[in-house]
Amino acid sequence: MKQKHFMSNTLLGAAAAVVMGMCTTIATADEPCGDLEECRAFIEINASDGDIGFHALLDAEGWERARIIDPDGKKIFEERARGALKDQKLTENFFESAEPLCEEELVEEGEDDEVVTLPEFLERFPAGPYEFRTRGEGGGDEESAGITMFTHLIPAAPAEVDFDGSEISWEYGDDLGECTTFPEGFALADELDIVGYEVVLEPDDDALGSFKFTVQVPSDVVGTSYSVTVPLEYLASLPGDTPLKVEVGAIERRVDVMMLESFGNTTFTEEDGFCNNADQEMCPEE
């Protein structure tokens, strides 16, 4: 049974401060995105659970309506503010699609989960320029627009993800974990196509799950070590032996329409069974 731990407000504040202080942001293009402040569309795969989704972000000042147009000219998303929210206007919008399983054999007996294999998903969301359009800035009816590139270049799932009590480590992998059905001629992104990694250490505990250590590191900083040291201040803010889980995501190096580097598709690997103890052999049994 999972044990619950509780921290004082002081410790909770310290944990949050460490996480906020340690998070970095890899410089991304698609900022600005034409008339918009930012726009992005990308694939996210959870290689451990075997699911796949389409994610999108747009940021523009004070709009009432927004649309996304795919490379075939089809509208795939539309949003419109109404009532008080229309008067207030909207700015940033980020959404994630549902994330169906990528293989039929991942469906548990008796369940009716949707299955969308990688070939089916890539056919559903073609590669190419995706146009983001907003309307209603400043109370007018003129459209603002920007274009982001969407690719089918997908990073391999990080492999050998581990936590030794102070350091999170991994290797660049050679597959997509549970997603094993590939389109004909499909190849995973080369290691040189990775712009960075997102690394998350999360208490596997209902009371502490919101207090994560999250950091994004450029691939040239990680180099060949494939490791990130977790701040002692963060670990000290958690009770000893707190159960922990680790997530490492490889992020595609994408070139946008302005020929600048941008964040692209991401593949994550998750591992659990760790704890907040310098000696992982001493972690309590679940």
pLDDT band at 269 (very low <50, low <70, confident <90, very high): very high
Average pLDDT over residues 166-185: 96
The whole-number average pLDDT for the span 261-281 is 94
Q: In what order do the strands lie in the sheet with 128-135?
A: 75-80, 65-69, 128-135, 143-150
pLDDT category at 18 given cuts 50, 70, 90 is very low
Q: Is the pLDDT assigned to residue 98 strictly greater than 90? A: yes
pLDDT digit string, tens, across residues 197-242: 999 999 999 899 899 999 999 988 776 789 999 999 999 999 999 9
Assigned token pair, 128? 């190419």
Please state, in angstroms and rounded to a whole number, the distance separating the CA atoms of residues 166 and 21. Answer: 18
SS3 content of the chain, % helix, strand, coil (to 5): 15, 40, 40
**The predicted structure's pLDDT at residue 243:** 96
Q: Which CA distances in Å does 138 have to 12, 39, 62, 133, 214?
A: 41, 20, 7, 15, 36
Q: What is the pLDDT of residue 19?
A: 40
Give the model's pLDDT for residue 225.
83
Using an 8 Å Cβ cutoff, are 268 and 202 in contact?
A: no
d(CA 202, CA 244): 6
Decide if 85 is inside a domain. Answer: yes
Within a domain: residue 223?
yes
Contact indicator for 64, 136 with CB cutoff of 8 Å: yes
- The answer to whether position 3 is within a domain reads no
Q: Give a yes or no: residue 4 inside a domain.
A: no
pLDDT attached to residue 114: 95
150 compared with 11, residue with greater pLDDT: 150
Q: What is the pTM of this model?
A: 0.86
- Where helices occur in 9-92 by DSSP H, the ranges are 9-22, 83-88
Contact indicator for 203, 211 with CB cutoff of 8 Å:
yes
Q: Give the pLDDT of residue 21.
A: 38
Task: Identify the band that residue 5 occupies on the pLDDT scale cut at 50, 70 and 90.
Answer: very low
Tell whether 131 is covered by a domain. yes
Task: Retrieve residue 229's tokens.
Answer: 């040291």
Mean pLDDT of 243-259: 88
Q: In whole angstroms, give the CA distance from residue 153 to residue 186.
A: 9
What pLDDT shows up at residue 138? 64
**2 assigned to some structural domain:** no
Mean pLDDT of 108-131: 95
Going by pLDDT thresholds of 50, 70 and 90, the confidence category of residue 140 is low
Range of the domain at 197: 9-282
As for how many domains the chain has, the answer is 1
- The whole-angstrom separation of Cα 121 and Cα 259 is 26
Range with the lowest mean pLDDT among 7-11, 41-45, 255-259? 7-11
Any domain includes 206: yes
